[in-house]
Amino acid sequence: MDPMQVPEEPHEVLFGRRVAEGKRDMINEISLKKRKFIGNTSMDPQLSLLMANQALVRDGDLVFDPFVGSGSLLVAAAKFGAYVFGADIDYMIVHGKSKPTRVNQKVREQDESIYANLKQYGCEKLFVDVLIADFSRSIWSDNIVLDSIITDPPYGIREATERIEFKNYRKTTVMTEDAVHYPSTSPYKLCQMYKDLLQFSARHLKLGGRLVCWFPVLKKDYNANILPRHKCLQLIANSEQPLSGYSCRRLLTYEKIPGNVDDEDGFEMPSAVVENYRQRYYTELAVDNGTRKERRLAMREVIRKAAMERGKQQQPDGKWRFPKEQPDA
Ligand SMILES: C[S@@+](CC[C@H](N)C(=O)[O-])C[C@H]1O[C@@H](n2cnc3c(N)ncnc32)[C@H](O)[C@@H]1O
């Protein structure tokens, strides 16, 4: 129709039903630039909101992030009206005590926290709590039922994949200069981490509840068969975010379906591809040559490996030192 020749009477009158309203302005509203508290791996707002969308989060839901970090995913879920809580192994990040992330900031402000972020966006009433917990050792009551789990597990590239050392395997107990006791940690293998995540989700999601999580993979390794599976979780969406020429992560959305959650064989994933993901990532990086930032990361990895080979251990302040041997308590 010619927009300059609009007829006086309409040819047809059509009625529609409004099913949704775009909320793109929310991306700006929760921008990391203006957010009170951010960490090195804070998820960007667009992806956080997308994850909450995939999880079909709605008013009054209960949403959990077991690898909560600086809580970006809780912000997105709370913006959709959910009550939110999270856990993380790292006390320093959860309580806003880690090194500041912003280039110009020397020290963190006293009141930087996940709660402060929710308050900034008017969602503080939806904050349940965040706690320090190692996901590899479940602390949760069997009765807890969740509407959704939204999470970005660590892949060991920009943050460590670690778990608290089991007593039987304990090497040494580390006593730092400030005389605070930190239990030693050991690597948390990706295969085990996704097994824990899917089993936890199968056990604690309500029927129809969703798990939305990222899964790292080298592009050349990818085919749908390498994705983690569980008999009680149906994979309903799987999309790629490229990270570099050779690596990507997949955004996976699972829905809880009926079944025996205690089924020992409920979980399946070929471990070979993910088990040495970190090592293969850096090998590929060296071959690919990467960007300046990627080469710097690769170099840091070489230094880290050399320090480990010399018997150094990474301390809670992030520096590599020889451990001070302490007699076990
Ligand atoms: C990719 S970051 C999550 C970032 C978060 N989505 C945010 O927006 O800040 C992964 C987090 O997993 C935590 N983590 C590593 N190993 C863990 C474990 N065994 N149990 C619980 N959290 C762990 C790390 O401390 C880190 O904060």
For 23-61, write each residue's pLDDT tens digit. Answer: 899 999 999 999 999 999 999 999 999 999 999 999 999
- Which atom in ligand 1 lies closest to the alpha carbon of residue 65? 6
Ligand 1 center to 4 CA (angstroms):
58
Cβ count within 10 A of residue 97: 12
- Which atom in ligand 1 lies closest to the alpha carbon of residue 39? 9
DSSP E strands, the chain: 62-65, 83-88, 127-132, 146-151, 162-164, 174-175, 181-182, 185-187, 205-218, 229-230, 233-242, 247-256, 267-268, 313-314, 320-321
Nearest to 162 by CA among 77, 93, 227: 93
For a ligand 1 pocket test, name from 65, 88, 134 the mutation site with the most ligand atoms within 8 angstroms of its C-beta: 88
User: What pLDDT is recorded for position 159?
Assistant: 66
- Which atom in ligand 1 lies closest to the alpha carbon of residue 94? 27
Q: What is the DSSP letter of 8?
A: S
User: What pLDDT is recorded for position 238?
Assistant: 97
Ligand 1 center to 167 CA (angstroms):
22
Q: Which domains does the chain have, with CATH numbers?
A: 24-289 (3.40.50.150), 292-321 (no CATH)
Ligand 1 center to 316 CA (angstroms):
15
Do 57 and 80 form a contact (C-beta atoms < 8 A)?
Answer: yes
* Sign, CA torsion 262/265/266/272: positive
Do 249 and 218 form a contact (C-beta atoms < 8 A)?
Answer: no
User: What pLDDT is recorded for position 287?
Assistant: 63
* Weakly modelled stretches of the chain, pLDDT under 70: 158-162, 165-184, 272-276, 285-292, 294-295, 324-329
For 252-271, write each residue's pLDDT tens digit. Answer: 999 999 999 888 778 888 77
Instruction: Quote the longest CA-to-CA distance of the chain.
Output: 92
- Which atom in ligand 1 lies closest to the alpha carbon of residue 38? 9
Alpha helical stretches, state H, the chain = 25-29, 45-54, 72-79, 91-94, 114-120, 190-204, 271-275, 277-288, 292-309
